[in-house]
Amino acid sequence: MKYSQIKELYKNIFKSYEKPSLETHIKKMIELDSYLPYSSTFFCVTNTQDLKFEYISKNLSSCLGINPNDLKTHGMRYFWSRIHPEDIEVWLSAMNQLMEFTLSEIKPTDRSKANYTWNYRFKNGSDTYVNIVQNTTPLSFDLDMKPIIGLAHYTVLDPKIKMQITASAKLLNANNEYETIYFNNFSQKLLKESISNRERDVIRLLVLNLTSKEISEKLNISSHTVDTHRRNILKKLKISSTGELVGMLKFNKNLI
């Protein structure tokens, strides 16, 4: 997926109209960072409106071996360029569904109590894809109470660990404990949906980048029937494109 497409989709997900004040939050983050030991975690203050990082903690370099100035200079564009290409579309789908859930299911007065977690593979300074689990807590909201500034905490895990892409949302309850209110495993969608055997046959061939005509010849059905199967598959899995489907399945071939 091209950067321009990622940027358009990402900005649509986090579209907002009011720029919040960051000075207080950033000052507190800098003060906290000076006391934190070096570890396998780092944090950033993210700005989804301006597509930049307002602050990057000192552990970034030790965790990933990349220069924090690259993130400061190039913002989220640089960060996206290092996410595994097979994870990009699945990650965007996760972001979109988390935002839709927030706006439809979490009361505006409760959104400051929310917390979100998702994961993806990320290329470190040695050009090795490591696993990152990102946990984000909203810090500021626009006039419609849409979260646009967040404290993002990143945990870096060994690349040998095989992780399925998941996303979750938690909400602080009356006992000051986080309760999971949303969870979705984007790598197991096919197991949870009513995909027919014929639709699975079509999916397997789509992953091989075959056209509808080529699939029709392989399965001895008409191209029109193949196109109907393709539309039904996207509808059942609640995804918008074949590219998103292919990206999800290349990461987890065992699902088909």
Q: What is the pTM of this model?
A: 0.69
Q: Report how far residue 205's alpha carbon sits from residue 219's, in angstroms, rounded to the nearest whole number.
A: 10
> Do 130 and 79 sit in the same domain of this protein?
yes
Report the CATH number that the domain containing residue 14 is assigned in CATH.
Answer: 3.30.450.20
Q: How many domains does the chain have?
A: 2
Q: Answer yes or no: do 8 and 107 share one domain.
A: yes
Is the Cβ–Cβ distance between 164 and 185 less than 8 Å? yes
Q: What is the CATH number of the domain that holds 245?
A: 1.10.10.10
Domain that holds residue 126: 3-185
Answer with the one of 169, 185, 201 that is the final residue of a domain: 185
135 with 220, same domain?
Answer: no
Whether 143 and 200 map to the same domain: the answer is no
Same domain, 55 and 140: yes
The answer to whether residues 52 and 160 belong to one domain is yes
What mean pLDDT do residues 123-138 have? 95
Whether 98 and 167 map to the same domain: the answer is yes
199, 161: one domain: no
The pLDDT of residue 34: 75
Per-residue confidence (pLDDT) for residue 215, from 0 to 100: 93
**27-31, 73-77, 108-112, 159-163: least confident range:** 27-31
Residue 71 has what pLDDT?
93
Structure confidence at residue 16 (pLDDT): 77
Are 106 and 82 in the same domain? yes
If pLDDT is split at 50, 70 and 90, which confidence band does 108 have? very high
Residues 54 and 146 in one domain: yes
State which of 160, 185, 210 marks the end of a domain.
Answer: 185
Mark whether 21 and 78 lie in a shared domain. Answer: yes
Say yes or no: 196 and 248 in one domain.
yes
The predicted model gives 129-151 an average pLDDT of: 90
Exposed e or buried b per residue across 156-173, where buried means at least 16 C-beta atoms within 10 angstroms of its C-beta: beeeeeeeebbbbbbbee
Q: What is the pLDDT of residues 204-228, one digit of tens each?
A: 888 788 899 999 999 999 999 999 9
Boundary of a domain, candidates 142, 157, 185: 185
| 3-state DSSP of the chain | CCHHHHHHHHHHHCCCCCCCCCHHHHHHHHHHHCCCCCCCEEEEEEECCCCEEEEECCHHHHHHCCCHHHHHHHHHHHHHHCECCCCHHHHHHHHHHHHHHHHHHCCHHHHHHEEEEEEEEEECCCCCEEEEEEEEEEEEECCCCCEEEEEEEEEEECCCCCCCCEEEEEEECCCCCEEEEEEEECCCHHHHCCCCHHHHHHHHHHHCCCCHHHHHHHHCCCHHHHHHHHHHHHHHHCCCCHHHHHHHHHHCHHHC
